[in-house]
């Protein structure tokens, strides 16, 4: 534990336990930073595996957040996509014992555990140890509601179901959820193996043993769903999002990184490259941080984007993608940039970026909404398909790359090239309308995090609640 820090005297010690994956660790850390900045007497111990500590241990964080570590009891992050079920199973069954051991040795009593909902054992553990648990759901509230109301799918004859024949049937009975086609519910409902589905349902079921349910979404994005969940749970349900690192972006100007070093040697060279591009002209392409699409489809995407003639910033991760960009990372001519990884929120917030090709991970979705950037959606699995539906049909800030949701059909380079060109043409009425909607949503995301806004208020109430309960607990 990196405890050589100035620690608050009147310690309200919160332990944060993220699910070990980038799309879960990032929003948990964003939430912790918000909590830590709100109350200096809060001390947060952010517990990760040794491997994850190696990945994130040097990232900047406030003094009242410190890392705690458990051994590498789960398969390595590098290659976890090869056996997703095995990974989920190991996280569910192997992390409790080392965490308990860790907790037995922390120096301050713990007033609350904030844990990812996918850590199935935590609510029961909290009850046994008499520690309140806040369950953090890092996907959309709508996806939570679909899992939570799984019995309604069964009752309406929509589970199990043959998608090819019935994918276009409408699901209009999940409380608060706008009507959605069956093919747009999370992909694990359609998979032949039901192991992951059972695990996910178990995780959502365990939430009833928690004391709070926190969403990384913004209330105004999914108000009806959140209202109905609010009415169904006996404890507080708070949307505190977007749980993304917006304060870091607000606090640093994009090109402040380096103005004197040569472009490629600067850590944020791609931001400087963006500075030299016309407003709204660049398509940012990221195919996701975890699961990838087939090599053949990647070939088509890269060729299609290149042939479109549109300026782009491409995140090339994974062997196949890296091979396709033979010249390696860096600028390719004046109007193309390839990077191995980037500060995504800062990229999306840059005025030169006018579109985002996304796999629809929920953090990426929130980041694009916050930055007001229209999206081309290319979902791969789990919640990404319903996220794409929300982006395109409910919020109207994006277009689908595949016309057939969830189909395995290859999208050709010709189709992609045409689509990308049309999508990045800011003169069309469609694009103007989408930009307008994107700006409206951007505005209400910003209102939500401003003083008196929904997320800001929810955070305040949540923090005060856990602190006041800890005092009443200490005094009894």
Ligand X SMILES: O=c1ccn([C@@H]2O[C@H](COP(=O)(O)OP(=O)(O)O[C@H]3O[C@H](CO)[C@@H](O)[C@H](O)[C@H]3O)[C@@H](O)[C@H]2O)c(=O)[nH]1
Query: What x-and-dash track marks residues 90-129 binding ligand X by CB under 6 A?
Result: ----------------------------------------
From 122-130, 156-164, 178-186, 284-292, give the range in contact with ligand X by CB under 6 A. Answer: 284-292
Nearer to ligand X, 103 or 438 (CB): 438
From 15-23, 169-177, 330-338, 388-396, give the range in contact with ligand X by CB under 6 A. Answer: 15-23
CB of 329 to ligand X, least distance (A): 11
- Hey, what are 59's tokens? 């990232």
User: What one-character-per-residue DSSP string does 169-229 give?
Assistant: -EE--STTPPPEEGGGS-GGGT-S--HHHHHHHHHHHHGGGSSEEEESS-GGGSHHHHHHH
Q: Does residue 197 touch ligand X according to CB under 6 A?
A: no
CB of 145 to ligand X, least distance (A): 15
Segment 301 to 340, residues that bind ligand X, using CB under 6 A: 315
CB of 288 to ligand X, least distance (A): 5
Segment 167 to 186, residues that bind ligand X, using CB under 6 A: none
Give yes or no for a contact between 186 and 235, defined as CB atoms under 8 angstroms apart.
no
Half-sphere exposure of 302 (CA within 13 A, CB side): 20
From 266-274, 359-367, 410-418, 447-455, give the range in contact with ligand X by CB under 6 A. Answer: 359-367
CB of 318 to ligand X, least distance (A): 12
The CA distance from 328 to 322, in Å, is 7
Q: Does residue 454 touch ligand X according to CB under 6 A?
A: no
Q: Does residue 241 touch ligand X according to CB under 6 A?
A: no
Among residues 364, 362, 382, the alpha carbon closest in space to that of 373 is found at 364
- The continuous run of DSSP H or E covering 52 comes out as helix 50-56
Give yes or no for a contact between 338 and 316, defined as CB atoms under 8 angstroms apart.
yes
Hey, what's the torsion of the CAs at 368, 52, 123, 36, to 10 degrees? -60
> 327 exposed, middle or buried (CB, 10 Å; 0-12, 13-18, 19+)?
exposed
The CA distance from 69 to 46, in Å, is 8
From 21-29, 77-85, 194-202, 436-444, give the range in contact with ligand X by CB under 6 A. Answer: 21-29
Give yes or no for a contact between 137 and 149, defined as CB atoms under 8 angstroms apart.
no
CB of 74 to ligand X, least distance (A): 16
Strand locations in 223-352 (E): 237-239, 282-286, 311-315, 330-331, 336-339
Q: Does residue 290 touch ligand X according to CB under 6 A?
A: yes
CB of 243 to ligand X, least distance (A): 9
CB of 262 to ligand X, least distance (A): 22
From 67-75, 203-211, 276-284, 361-369, give the range in contact with ligand X by CB under 6 A. Answer: 361-369
- Hey, what are 403's tokens? 């016309």
Q: Does residue 289 touch ligand X according to CB under 6 A?
A: yes
CB of 356 to ligand X, least distance (A): 11
Size of the chain in residues: 476
Among residues 454, 473, 288, the alpha carbon closest in space to that of 378 is found at 288
The CA distance from 173 to 175, in Å, is 6
Query: What x-and-dash track marks residues 137-156 binding ligand X by CB under 6 A?
Result: -xx-----------------
- Exactly one of 117, 145, 268, 384 binds ligand X (CB under 6 A); that residue is 384
Nearer to ligand X, 42 or 225 (CB): 225
Per CB under 6 A, residues contacting ligand X are: 21-24, 26, 138-139, 286, 288-290, 315, 341-342, 344-345, 361-364, 367, 382-384
């Amino acid at each position: 534990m990196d405890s050589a820090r100035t620690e608050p005297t009147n310690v309200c010690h919160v332990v944060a336990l993220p699910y070990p994956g980038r799309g879960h660790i990032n929003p948990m850390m964003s939430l912790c930073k918000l909590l830590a900045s709100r109350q200096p007497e809060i001390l947060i111990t952010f517990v990760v595996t040794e491997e994850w500590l190696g990945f994130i241990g040097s990232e900047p964080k406030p003094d009242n957040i410190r890392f705690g570590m458990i051994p590498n009891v789960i398969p390595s992050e590098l290659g976890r996509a090869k056996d997703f079920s095995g990974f989920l199973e190991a996280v569910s069954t192997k992390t409790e014992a080392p965490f308990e051991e860790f907790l037995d040795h922390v120096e301050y009593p713990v007033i609350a555990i904030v844990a990812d909902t996918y850590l199935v054992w935590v609510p029961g553990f909290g009850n046994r140890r008499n520690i309140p648990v806040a369950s953090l759901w890092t996907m959309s509230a709508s996806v939570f509601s679909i899992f939570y109301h799984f019995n309604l799918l069964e009752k309406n004859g929509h589970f199990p179901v043959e998608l090819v024949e019935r994918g276009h049937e409408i699901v209009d009975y999940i409380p608060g959820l706008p009507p959605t086609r069956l093919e747009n519910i999370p992909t694990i409902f359609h998979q032949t193996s039901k192991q992951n589905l059972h695990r996910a349902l178990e995780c959502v079921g365990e939430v009833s043993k928690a004391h709070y349910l926190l969403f990384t979404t913004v209330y105004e994005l999914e108000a009806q769903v959140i209202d109905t969940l609010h009415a169904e749970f006996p404890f507080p349900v708070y949307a505190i999002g977007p749980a993304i690192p917006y304060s870091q972006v607000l606090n640093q100007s994009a090109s402040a990184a380096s103005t004197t070093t040569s472009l490629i040697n600067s850590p944020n060279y791609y931001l400087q490259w963006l500075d030299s591009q016309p407003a709204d002209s660049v398509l940012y392409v990221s195919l996701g941080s975890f699961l990838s699409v087939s090599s053949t489809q990647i070939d088509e995407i890269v060729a299609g984007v290149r042939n479109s003639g549109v300026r782009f910033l491409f995140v090339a991760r994974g062997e196949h993608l890296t091979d396709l960009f033979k010249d390696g990372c860096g600028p390719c001519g004046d109007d193309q940039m390839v990077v191995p990884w980037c500060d995504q929120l800062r990229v999306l917030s840059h005025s030169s970026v006018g579109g985002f090709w996304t796999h629809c991970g929920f953090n990426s979705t929130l980041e694009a909404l916050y930055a007001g950037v229209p999206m081309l959606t290319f979902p791969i699995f789990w919640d990404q398909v319903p996220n794409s539906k929300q982006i395109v049909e409910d919020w109207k800030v994006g277009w689908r790359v595949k016309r057939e949701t969830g189909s395995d059909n290859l999208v050709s380079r010709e189709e992609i090239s045409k689509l990308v060109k049309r999508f990045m043409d800011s003169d069309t009425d469609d694009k103007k309308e989408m930009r307008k909607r994107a700006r409206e949503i951007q505005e209400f995301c910003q209102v939500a995090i401003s003083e008196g806004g929904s997320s800001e208020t929810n955070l305040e109430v949540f923090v005060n609640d856990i602190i006041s309960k800890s005092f009443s607990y200490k005094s009894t």
